[in-house]
Amino acid sequence: MPIFSHKFSGLFLGKSRQKSRPAPLVIQDVLGAFTLSEPDKQDSYSGEIALPVGRVTVYLETDGNEEKTANAALQSLRAFVRNAADWDARIRQFAADDFAGKDGTIEIWGGCDGSDEGAVISKEKFMRRISMNFIQFYRDGSLFFDYDLDDMFTDHGLGVHAHISGGIESCALWG
The per-residue pLDDT for range 60-105, each reduced to its tens digit, is: 999 999 999 999 999 999 999 999 999 999 999 999 999 999 999 9
Check if the beta carbon of residue 73 is closer than 8 Å to that of residue 64.
no
The per-residue pLDDT for range 144-163, each reduced to its tens digit, is: 999 999 999 988 999 999 99
Res. 12: pLDDT tops 60: no
- Going by DSSP bridges, is the β-strand pair 54-61/131-137 parallel, antiparallel, or unpaired? parallel
172 contact partners, CB below 8 Å, separation of at least 6: 158, 159
pLDDT at 87: 97
135: left (phi over 0), alpha (psi -120 to 50) or beta: beta
Predicted TM-score (pTM) of the model is 0.84
